[in-house]
């Protein structure tokens, strides 16, 4: 019997002008999602997603809800084309975890998109109030990256694979971390082009404001397993979900642990929904034998639909 499959959702940084546009033009249910998003937010998010400019789309309070809607359009297009498709679990990278929780029935579409717009705005404001940055460390063991972070006074933001860890914090600390990582034997370091220090202590003001927003949102137990970024294991009750989503803003994204949990519990196939294929690349490094497919536009959706209809992907 084929092992079970999961759907995973893209995070911030995956945005691209035009995302979701061809799906919205081809499928009325996808177009409806963008219309609902515009109505919920009170402005033309769909126009920003479809036409840009890139400077507007890159703003956290636009790209976070934008990627959410585009990712859900991808998901809706697939399940409409393959009515019998079922998923045993779901997960997402940072904001993608919110998409996963909505897909699993924990939050309504309107609540999710309004919360993500607020989350993006809070994070953008925290970025502007601090001088922060992020650096990707390649080819250095996670334990050594942790030591580098401690010595440089920064935080571990993302545990993406055994070969890639992202650090986040004050710019001077990031510069020091880059030096220490190279001294420790890192193959490569890449300073990321981001607005600030996401998933670090510098985001604490955003986390506190997000907690107030989440207190007013109804959350329900998910219909399927949703793996938490901050714990690397499935979410608990709604109150715990709220706490984890707040912790996620300043805490480490434990993507390696999340995929390892899914693999250990029978997940052998992954459908990535949303712009780009970053998660597919990370999963391949963590679980080399995994079957992978993605949906980001009409062409990739058609390939994924064909794959899901094969015996290999059943179950």
> Which tokens is 241 given?
């979900």
The conformation of residue 187, written as its DSSP 8-state character, comes to: S
CA distance 241 to 164: 27
Q: Which of 78, 48, 93 is nearest to 66 (CA)?
A: 48
* Catalytic option among 46, 60, 71, 94: 94
The reply to whether 265 belongs to the active site is no
- Of the candidates 27, 62, 199, 235, the residue annotated as catalytic is 199
Q: Is 132 helix (H, G, I), strand (E, B) or coil?
A: strand
Q: Measure the CA–CA gap between 185 and 5, rounded to whole angstroms.
A: 37
User: Which token pair is 32?
Assistant: 């409806």
Beta carbons within 10 angstroms of residue 54's beta carbon: 11
Environment class of residue 292 by beta-carbon count within 10 Å: exposed (0-12), middle (13-18) or buried (19+)?
middle
- Indicate if 94 belongs to the active site: yes
Supply the residues annotated as catalytic. 94, 199
């Amino acid at each position: 019997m084929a092992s079970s499959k999961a759907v995973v959702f893209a995070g911030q940084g995956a945005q691209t002008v035009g995302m979701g546009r061809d799906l919205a033009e081809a499928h009325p249910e996808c177009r409806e999602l963008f219309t609902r998003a515009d109505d919920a937010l009170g402005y033309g998010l769909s126009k920003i997603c479809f036409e840009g400019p890139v400077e507007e789309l890159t703003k956290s309070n636009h790209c976070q809800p934008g990627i959410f809607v585009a990712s859900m359009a991808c998901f809706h297009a697939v399940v409409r084309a393959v009515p019998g498709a079922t998923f045993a679990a779901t997960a997402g990278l940072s904001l993608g975890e919110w998409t996963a929780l909505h897909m699993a029935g924990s939050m309504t579409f309107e609540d999710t998109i309004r919360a993500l717009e607020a989350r993006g705005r809070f994070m953008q404001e925290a970025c502007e109030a601090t001088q922060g940055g992020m650096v990707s460390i390649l080819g250095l063991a996670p334990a050594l990256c942790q030591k580098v972070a401690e010595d440089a006074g920064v935080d571990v933001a993302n545990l993406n694979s055994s070969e890639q860890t992202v650090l986040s914090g004050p710019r001077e600390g990031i510069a020091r971390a880059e030096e220490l990582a190279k001294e420790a034997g890192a193959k490569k370091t890449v300073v990321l082009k981001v607005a600030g220090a996401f998933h670090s202590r510098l985001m604490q003001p955003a986390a506190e404001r997000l907690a107030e927003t989440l207190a007013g949102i109804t959350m329900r137990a998910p219909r399927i397993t949703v793996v938490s970024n901050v714990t690397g294991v499935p979410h608990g009750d709604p109150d715990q979900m709220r706490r984890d989503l707040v912790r996620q803003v300043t805490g480490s994204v434990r993507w390696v642990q999340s995929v390892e949990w899914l693999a250990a519990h029978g997940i052998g196939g992954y459908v990535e929904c949303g712009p780009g294929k970053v998660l597919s690349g990370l999963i391949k490094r963590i679980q080399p034998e995994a079957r992978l497919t993605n949906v980001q536009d009409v062409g990739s959706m058609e390939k994924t639909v064909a794959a899901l209809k094969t015996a290999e992907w059943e179950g």
